[in-house]
Amino acid sequence: MIHFRRVHDISVILGRESVSWPGDPPYERKLISSIDEGRASTVSVISMSTHIGTHLDTPAHFLAGARGLDTYKPADFILPAVVVDVEDAPAVTAKMVKDAQPPGGGAILFRTTNSTGKRIASGEFFKDGVHLLPEAAQACVDHQVRLVGIDYFTIDAFGCDGFPVHKILLSAGILVLETINLLHVRQGGYTLICLPLRLAGAEASPVRAVLLE
């Protein structure tokens, strides 16, 4: 049984704080029925990329024939986690991962100036976000973590060639959680819950991510 004192919502709000990746369709919600217009109920339809807002990438995102969302069990998205504050570093290094000693079989989440500067929930896209270096990704593999999270739209540097960090992590079966907001979360240990939608054949999904303290 999980015991906790506080629940930290680390998700950005779709349609208010989220932004779409350049070239991807944006989040859009349309009313098709409204109580305010005299209908019996309010009903809406949404359209968006699976990589918008706080979302989870599976290996199928970059690897042909790899695991997609519908091959996982709910327990795979409930993990012991450590939040690492990298302060004002421009990128996450291997040393930061090693110093954090993330739990094997758990998750490691990086709190950067993307959160503390209130950029990740600003609703504006920025290209110079703090990200992981490939050496940091390999350190996560070496520590046998199951999920890596970052408070940026991508775990790689924006515009990098070949998405090396994604490929290092996903090739090792490590899930990637992007666009989390760790502004009000301190460094330390938590339980992460980031359940995706149960989408058949999908490579990614938006999630409502929370940390239990």
Question: Tens digits of per-residue pLDDT, 32-57?
Answer: 999 999 999 999 999 999 999 999 99
Per-residue confidence band for 4, with pLDDT thresholds at 50, 70 and 90: confident
Helix axes 134-142, 164-171, angle to 10 degrees: 10
Question: Tens digits of per-residue pLDDT, 87-105?
Answer: 999 999 999 999 998 888 9
**β-strand pairing of 28-33 with 131-132:** unpaired
Residue 2 has pLDDT above 70, yes or no: no
Give the tokens for residue 92.
């996450």
The stretch 72-96 carries a mean pLDDT of 97
Q: Which residues pair with 108 in a beta bridge?
A: 82, 148
Angle at alpha carbon of residue 52, lines to 47 and 55, rounded to 5°: 120
The stretch 58-70 carries a mean pLDDT of 96
Torsion over CA: 198, 189, 104, 94 (sign): positive
pTM to 2 decimals? 0.96
**Within the chain, how many helices (H) and strands (E) appear?**
4, 12
pLDDT for residue 1? 63
Query: At residue 32, what are phi and psi to the nearest 5 degrees?
Result: -110, -10
Per-residue confidence band for 116, with pLDDT thresholds at 50, 70 and 90: very high
Instruction: Please state, as a whole number, how many other Cβ atoms lie within 10 Å of the Cβ of residue 154.
Output: 21
Question: Tens digits of per-residue pLDDT, 181-209?
Answer: 999 999 999 999 999 999 999 999 999 99
Per-residue confidence band for 171, with pLDDT thresholds at 50, 70 and 90: very high
Residue 164 has pLDDT above 80, yes or no: yes
pLDDT for residue 52? 97
What mean pLDDT, rounded, does the chain reach? Answer: 96
Cα gap 19→98, rounded to integer Å: 32
Per-residue confidence band for 3, with pLDDT thresholds at 50, 70 and 90: confident
Residue 156 has pLDDT above 80, yes or no: yes
